[in-house]
Amino acid sequence: MSFDTIIRGGTVVTAADTFACDVGIRDGKITALGRDLGDAATIIDATDRLVLPGGIDSHVHFAQPSGDGIVMADGFASGTRSAAFGGNTTVLPFCLQEKGQTLREALKHYHSLADGECHVDVAFHLIVTDPTEHVLGQELPALVEDGYTSLKVFMTYEGLALSDRELLETMSVARETGAMLMVHAENFDAIRFLTDRLERAGNTAPRFHATSRPIPVEREATHRAISLSELVDVPIMIVHVSNREAMDEIRRAQQRGLRVMGETCPQYLMLTENDLDQLNMEGAKYVCSPPPRDVASQQACWEGLQQKVFSVFSSDHCPFRYDDPQGKLAPKGRTSFRWVPNGIPGVATRLPILFSEGVVKGRIDLNSFVAFSATNHAKIYGLYPRKGTIAVGSDADIALWDPKRKVTIRHQLIHDGSDYTPYEGLEVTGWPVLTMVRGKVVVDDGTLVGSKDHGTYLPRAKPPAGATIP
């Protein structure tokens, strides 16, 4: 038999095309696209289904050290399981360098957490918090050659924020090595100033998290990150953009010919700062950074997708349990929003939200959905064409979607380690009904059928030099 599996009768969608065709799979790879492919050990009937590249989520946090007494709700097993339920076949979490640690030490530990614990494929970004001469001069260049071809830097957070000088030094290494640099753009000093002032006035409820990080905080840092990257002449990705002013900074840079890319996330399309304003501590469920803004900002983020100012749509899945002193309800005595861990779960809901709110409501077309959810992630982060498309020779990473299925999002559909979803009760149309990773079905109609030793770690190529933004 020439194929292990044939996916028959579906509509294949890539970032470029939509066509009726069967998909032949052998040894985990797509080996044929066509009609009348013959027989196979397994036939999957895809009548009335869309056959899409499995989602690639290039911004998730699993098992990340989160400070004093706080524990992230997902490690690799539950995080990749939830990803699979949401139609994803590859995720890119962050390996965080703690101060004083070498990158190699951080990676050794992070690999030990991931080994044998992944339902879908994974690759790691690095988070550089301690850019010593050794780290920048020796470790990072060697690690980029070893396939760790992207890194994130922070402009805020105690213990994570880099000074402008450190940002420039790190950007220079990204330029020399060809690594992709991701930037968390918020002004640390402005946040500290506003937080102290709010607390002195007794304004400590979760909703003041948003007040402590208003739009100018993000706009200024976005502008500064772009300016610094211009000085060094290095491409950058501004992650989790939440509003028009930051988006316009990116747009202007792109119009000037700079290789500045942008990412937005479901929370900036679906939530507003009003969600943080709930009884007791319930608003803590929506505390993330940058914070959700307002309806006009949601509209701006849609425009950023429609006009391709943004090239990727990621979850920024950063889960903490709500009803838990190691999670959103930080230990007693820490009553201010300052202590609420920043981040919300979303790896399973990213794609149904973009499909339903974007494709079904006519805001974006299906090919753009594939580009934002898979193809552009693979291109930017060095996984294309092995991942991110449906083509002969690519990994058989495929999600079958029922474009008409109506689902009310409930936490029990999410299968992560958290105890809530910010989207509880949201009705969506369109749902991933089967997720296949390298030819093996891992989720079939709401049932986990894969195992956590199937996912593999993926070393990556450098993004193509001088690549145009997808």
Which tokens sit at 398? 């495929």
Task: State in angstroms the smallest separation of the CB of 470 from ligand DUC.
Answer: 21
Q: Which is nearer to ligand DUC, 15 or 301 (CB)?
A: 301
**Residue 316 interacts with Zn ion (CB under 5 A)?**
yes
Task: State in angstroms the smallest separation of the CB of 58 from Zn ion.
Answer: 10
Task: State in angstroms the smallest separation of the CB of 64 from Zn ion.
Answer: 9
Task: State in angstroms the smallest separation of the CB of 402 from ligand DUC.
Answer: 31
Q: Are 272 and 242 in contact (CB under 8 A)?
A: no
Q: Which is nearer to Zn ion, 195 or 242 (CB)?
A: 242
What is the rounded distance in angstroms from the CA atom of residue 386 to the CA atom of residue 392? 10
> Exposed, middle or buried by CB within 10 Å (0-12, 13-18, 19+), for 15?
buried
Q: Are 296 and 244 in contact (CB under 8 A)?
A: yes
Beta bridge partners of 32: 24
**Residue 213 interacts with ligand DUC (CB under 6 A)?**
no
**Residue 342 interacts with ligand DUC (CB under 6 A)?**
yes
Q: Which is nearer to ligand DUC, 21 or 221 (CB)?
A: 221
Q: Give the count of beta carbons closer than 10 Å to the beta carbon of residue 181.
A: 23
Half-sphere exposure of 391 (CA within 13 A, CB side): 13
What is the distance, to the nearest Å, from the Cα of residue 171 to the centroid of all Cα atoms in its chain? 21
Which tokens sit at 205? 């409820």
Using the rule CB under 6 A, which residue among 184, 223, 244, 321 binds ligand DUC? 184
Q: What is the number of the residue whose Cβ is closest to Zn ion?
A: 184
Q: Where does this chain touch Zn ion (CB under 5 A) — which range of 122-130, 184-192, 268-276, 329-337?
A: 184-192
Using the rule CB under 6 A, which residue among 240, 244, 293, 350 binds ligand DUC? 240
Q: How many residues line the site for Zn ion (CB under 5 A)?
A: 2
Q: Where does this chain touch Zn ion (CB under 5 A) — which range of 38-46, 101-109, 185-193, 313-321?
A: 313-321
Q: State the greatest distance between any 2 C-alpha atoms of the chain, in Å, as a whole number.
A: 73
How far is the CA of 192 from the CAs of 68, 215, 394, in angstroms? 18, 15, 47
List, in order, residues 6 or more apart from 392 with CB less than 8 Å away: 30, 31, 32, 33
DSSP secondary structure letters along 174-237: HHHHT-EEEEE---HHHHHHHHHHHHHTT--STHHHHHTS-HHHHHHHHHHHHHHHHHHT--EE
Task: State in angstroms the smallest separation of the CB of 5 from ligand DUC.
Answer: 36
Half-sphere exposure of 322 (CA within 13 A, CB side): 16
Q: How many residues line the site for ligand DUC (CB under 6 A)?
A: 10
Q: Which is nearer to Zn ion, 157 or 457 (CB)?
A: 157
| Residue numbers 291-320 binding ligand DUC by CB under 6 A | 316, 318
**Residue 184 interacts with Zn ion (CB under 5 A)?**
yes
What does 342 interact with, of ligand DUC, Zn ion, none (CB < 5 to 8 A by kind)?
A: ligand DUC
Q: Which is nearer to Zn ion, 184 or 386 (CB)?
A: 184
The helix-helix angle for 244-255 and 295-306 (nearest 10°) equals: 30
Q: Are 41 and 455 in contact (CB under 8 A)?
A: no
Report which DSSP code applies to 273: G
| Residue numbers 378-437 binding ligand DUC by CB under 6 A | none
x/- map, 53-82, ligand DUC, by CB under 6 A:
--------x---------------------
Task: State in angstroms the smallest separation of the CB of 319 from ligand DUC.
Answer: 10
Interface positions with ligand DUC (CB under 6 A): 61, 184, 239-240, 288-289, 316, 318, 342-343
Interface positions with Zn ion (CB under 5 A): 184, 316
